[in-house]
Structure 1
Amino acid sequence: MPHPLPQLEKLFLTDGGLETDLLFNHGIELPGFSAIMLLRTDQGRAALDSYFRGYLEFSRRIGLGFVLESASWRAGADWAPQLGVTPAELDRLSARSVEMLKALRREYETPATPVVVSGCIGPRGDGYDPGRIMSRQEAEDYHLRQAAALAAAGPDLLTAMTLTNVNEAIGIARAAEKVGLPVVISFTVETDGRLPTGDRLGAAIQTVDQASAGYPAYFMINCAHPSHFEEALAKGGSWTRRIRGLRANASKCSHAELDAMTDLDAGNPSELGEDYRRLLGLMPHLTVLGGCCGTDQRHIEAIAEACLELA
């Protein structure tokens, strides 16, 4: 591996909710809720550049490493018709999203503040609703295309976020192995701590590990508030040690409630920081801390300030 995964050794930060931040806080239109489309224009690229620089400057200032996540969460081939582009163009944009982050790494990385570049893969369908469940093979075949496009640009790893079901996670893990990159699997959960399919989080992680010979570098939870999954983690067993990162929502609302909202619920950054501090006390092996829907740099700074002394 050309660039190892130092986030497995010490605390790293990652960003907040890219799409919700740009859309609601900066008034930037995102057709299909897809940030990848910003790479098609100078103005869009400048917005992404400014977004990532803010986080990198903060993480360097406080002496923590950072995981840069590419803006390719919604760039799978099925989204091309809705976005008005071809699948081939989405492939090119996926590669470009990684290349952008590698350029930022060259500028910001120091020996004390390493920067990891991750190629982001999102679910084939909606991040809240599993919809039609693919077979494991179908999921591998579908996601292999974007995995290969991202891999061609040379990221350190792939991260699949907001996954709602086990089969898709297994397919992505197998696709990542085919392209020769480590992979992180990040599930979302409902207010009861279970996947949208009803599967228990621990069972889902164990099933993915069994079906992929433990291929994922680690697992994460994203797009849910800590109050939705803290109890499941507290009651969990050895499987919880496979979870190394959190990207929580700012809001305590359910996915259904968030889907119906027209305004952003940014929650309380300080309270979210304390939630993370409590979870880090429960799970000291957590090493990647960031945010998801409704979070922005304020939330990540509050999380870092609350958790830094526990690192």
Structure 2
Amino acid sequence: MRIPPYLKKGDTIGMVCPAGYMPPEKWQTAVDVLQQEGYSIRLGTTMNSKSENYFSGTDAERLADLQAMLDDSSVKAIFCGRGGYGMGRIIDQLQFKNFRKHPKWIIGFSDITVLHAHVNRQLKIASLHAPMAAAFNEGEYANPYVQSLLAAVRGEKSVYRKAPHPYDKKGKASGRLVGGNLALVSHLIGTRSAYKTKDRILFLEDVGEQLYNIDRMMIQLKRSGMLENLSALILGGFTDNKDTDRPFGKDIEDIFKDLLDEYDYPICYGFPVSHDKENYALKVGVNHTLIVNEEGSILSEK
């Protein structure tokens, strides 16, 4: 696994929206803060899109914008403004020849899980699952989650702690960290972008899903074998869940517990990686150690 060079003051960060549309007023604060941190910002064409539909441009426009940032060796990191939906429509058309020669940090989460997984599986290059532009708004750039992004790109090693959860499965494990949005991780099964999970620490999060759909996606992971030989499992935030008119009959934590009880590796519930504010930066592909005990959980970068 190759680790891209960490950033230093004066480096250029390319900013793109390779999936959903984002109005400028939603990303301007992020640009301002990153410039105050000493970075130069290069805006892609999708950041000022004139699109009138869901996407930040046509497939061809979004592809060209992201491709330009991947190819430009003067761009030292690619910061995705938002996720939404759209990476899966262009991932197979992207060319990574120059990116392979000059790897750089790809930053984002949600739909950007597709890009993280593809880069991990096909190129064996680390990337950064982390807050995106909207997380900087309303003074939130000062919170520990956005600050963890800034620390990560500087090369600081992370150590994250959380309180114990009654369903935690205790133990200690090490392995490369992989994961992201559950819907996308399950959607990629059967494609050449799907994560390999043997001996990995897998982390999952999601937002706005029906409870039965979370159950279905976890069963898909289980049936595919992705959960069998993990080193450990981290369950993040599953927020804004919905239930059917006739109740599913289990809450989100019981869905996980019932499906995961058979596994003997450490499992951490409620880790702060999510679509909400609580979203620590995680280096995908980098070796980590997870400790789960009576005092809580510690995830530390090796």
The verdict on a shared fold, with TM-score over 0.5 as the criterion, is no
Relative to its length, the structure with more helix (as a share) is 1
TM-score between the two structures when normalised by the length of structure 2? 0.36
Structure whose residues are more often strand by fraction: 2
